[in-house]
Structure 1
Amino acid sequence: MKKVLGYIFSPIHYLFFGFFLLLFHPIQWLSLKLGGYSGHKRSVDILNYFLTSTYYLMGTRAKFTNVHRLPEGRPILFIANHQSMYDIPPMIWHFRKYHAKFISKIELTKGIPSISFNLKYGGAANINRKDPKQSIGEILKLAQRMRDQNWSAVIFPEGTRSKNGEMRAFAVAGAATILKKVPEALVVPVAIKGAWKLVQHGAFPLSFGEKMSWTVLTPIEPAGRTPEAVLKEAEEAVKNEMADQMRKA
C-alpha cells in the first residue's frame, strides 16, 4: 500500500521540492550579492525549512531530537550515518545556528538549482573522489574556515548512503583530517533512522508514510585523544542508538 500511495503522492512531493529549489536559486544569488555570507546563509536556512516541509506531503513523520545544549561560537564536527539525500535538509535547518557545512561530491556543484549554488558559495568542501590530493586540500580548507569562523561541519564517514539501513564501517580519514587541524572541535554523533525507507524503491515511487528520525547523541570531547579513538567512539554511539531504536520499533 505504501508503494501504491507513493505513485500518487511522489509527483506532488517532487513538484513542491523542485519548485522551492527553482524559487530559491535567484533568491540565493540576490541574498549573496546584497547581504554577503549572512544574507546567503539565511536564504539557505529558509530553503531547507521548506524542503523539509515537503516530506510531509509523502505522509512522512520526521522527528529531530536534541536534548543537549551544544555550544555556540565553538567548532563542532557532526558525525552521522547516511541513508539518503533526505538526511540533509533537516540537518541544515536544525543545525543552522552552528553554521554546519557539508563535505560533498564535486559533481553536485553543477546543474542542480539552489543546491549547486549553495555548495559553490556557502562554504562546503567539494571533493573529487578520483583525486585524493584535491580532496584533502578541500577538507583542509574547510577545517581552516572552521577555525577562523567558528563554523561546524557535517561528515558522513560511511562514504556512501546505506540502501537498507545497515551501517557501514566508518572511514576515519576525512574526520581525522579535520580533527588534526581543529583539535578544539567538539565531536557530536548523530543517528539517522528511516530515511532509507523513503527511497527503498528508488527515486520513484517514494514510499508513503515512513518514519524518519534524527537523534543528536552525547557530545565527545576530543582533547588528549587520537582522532581515530574519538571517531571509533562516535561510530559505536551511532551504532548503539540505531540498535536501540530497532529494538523499540
Structure 2
Amino acid sequence: MLKLLSYPLTSIYYLLFGLTLVIFHPIQWFCFNVFGYKTHKLSVDILQFCLLKCTHVLGTRFSFYNPHTISTESPLIIVANHQSLYDISPIMWYMRKHHTKFISKMELGKGIPSVSYNLRHGGSVLIDRKNSRQSLPAIKAFAQYIEDTKRAAVIFPEGTRSKNGNPKPFQTKGLKLLFKHVPSALVVPISINNSWKMLRYGKFPMGLGTHIKFEVHEPVKVSEFKNNPLDLIAQIETTIKNNISV
C-alpha cells in the first residue's frame, strides 16, 4: 500500500523539484552577474532550503546533529559517506555559514538547471575521474582556493554512492591532495544514515517516510597528521563508518 501511495506523491515531488531548479536558475544567474558572489551564495542557500522542503511531500525528515562549535576562521574539509543525492542539500544548508564547495564529476557541470550553474560558478570543482592529468591539478587549485578563502571543501571519498547504505572503501588520492594543499584545515567527518532509502525502489517511485540523519563528529586538525596523512584518513574513515547503521 505504501509503495502504491508513493507513485502519485513521487510525481508531485518531481514536479516541485524540477520547478524549483528551473525557477532558481535565472535567479542565480542574475545574482551572480549583477551583485556578485555574496548574493549568489544567498540564492544558493535559499535554493537548498526549498529543495529540502520539496522532499516533505514524500514524508522525508532531516536530523542534523552538530554539537561542535566550528570556527568560520579556518578552512574546512568536510568528509562524509555518500548514499544518494539527498546527502548534498542538507550539508549545504546546515553548514551554509562555512560556504560549502564540492568536488564533483565533470558530467554534473552541464545540463542540470541551477545545479550545473552553481557548480561552475559557485566555487566548486569539476573533475574527470578517468583523467588524472585533469583531475589532480584541478583538485590542487581547488584546495588552494579553500585555503585562501577559509571556506569548506566537501568530499565523498567513496567515489560513488552506496545503493544499500553499506559504505565502500575510501579512496585516498583526493583526500591526500586536500590535506597537503589545505594545511590549516579542520577535517570535519560526517556520518549519513538512511538517505539511500529515498531510492529504495529506484528513482520511481521513491521511498516514503525516510528519516535522513546526519551526525557531525569532532573536527581534527590536518596539521596534527602532517607526516601521517594515511593515519588521518584511517581515523576519519573509522569514525564515519562506526556511526553508520544499515
Same fold flag (TM > 0.5):
yes
- 2:48 paired with 1:48: yes
Runs of 5+ consecutive residues of structure 2 not aligned to the other structure = none
Counterpart in the other structure of 1:146:
146
**Equivalent residue, structure 1, for 2:236:** 234
CA distance in 1, matches of 2:222, 2:182: 10
- Which AA in structure 1 matches 2:59? G
Counting aligned pairs with the same residue, the percent is 44
Paired positions, count? 244
What's the counterpart of residue 168 of structure 1? 168
Partner Cα separation in structure 1 for residue 95 and residue 88 of structure 2: 10
Render the CA deviation track for 1:5-25: whole Å, top value 9, x for unaligned: 211210111111111100000
Q: Structure 1 208/224 Cα, relative in aligned 2: closer, same or farther at 3 Å?
A: closer
* Contact kept in structure 2, 1:184 and 1:223, CA below 8 Å: yes
Match of 1:113 in 2: 113
Q: 2:125, 2:137 → 1: CA distance?
A: 9
Quick check: 1:5–1:207 contact (8 Å CA) kept in 2? no
- Cα distance between partner residues in 1 of 2:150 and 2:220: 17
Residues 117-151 of structure 1: per-residue CA shift (max 9 Å, x gap): 00110111100112111111111111011111111
Cα distance in 2 between the residues matched to 1:155 and 1:167: 14
Q: Deviations over 1:165-197 (max 9, x none)?
A: 001111111011011011110001000000001
Look up the equivalent residue of 1:197 and give its one-letter code. K
Equivalent residue letter for 1:199: L
Query: How far does the alpha carbon of each residue in 1:90-120 deviate from its partner, in whole angstroms, 9 at most, with x for none?
Result: 1111111101100101111111000010011
Q: Aligned pair 1:123/2:123, yes or no?
A: yes
Alignment of 1:4-19 (within 5 A): 4-19=4-19
Paired with 1:222 and 1:149, the residues of 2 have a C-alpha distance of 17
Q: Greater CA deviation, 55-64 or 188-197? A: 55-64
Secondary structure, in 3 states, of the residue corresponding to 1:103? strand
SS at match of 2:47: helix
2:82 — aligned with what?
Answer: 82
Amino acid aligned to 1:179: F
1:239 is displaced (CA, Å) by 1.0
Counterpart CA distance in 2 for 1:227 and 1:123 is 25
Q: Deviations over 1:18-38 (max 9, x none)?
A: 111000000000000121111
- CA–CA separation in structure 1 for the residues paired with 2:83 and 2:150: 28
Matches within 5 A, 1:1-40: 1-40=1-40
Q: CA deviation at 1:222?
A: 2.3
Structure 1 unaligned segments of length 5 or more: list them.
none
Q: What is the RMSD of the two structures over their aligned residues, measured on CA atoms?
A: 1.0
- One-letter code of the match for 1:205? P
The structure 1 segments of at least 4 consecutive aligned residues displaced by more than 4 Å after TM superposition are none
1:220: which partner in 2? 220
For the residue of structure 2 that corresponds to 1:79, the secondary structure is strand
Alpha-carbon distance between aligned partners in 2 of 1:153 and 1:12, rounded to the nearest angstrom: 33
Deviation at 1:39, TM superposition (A): 1.1
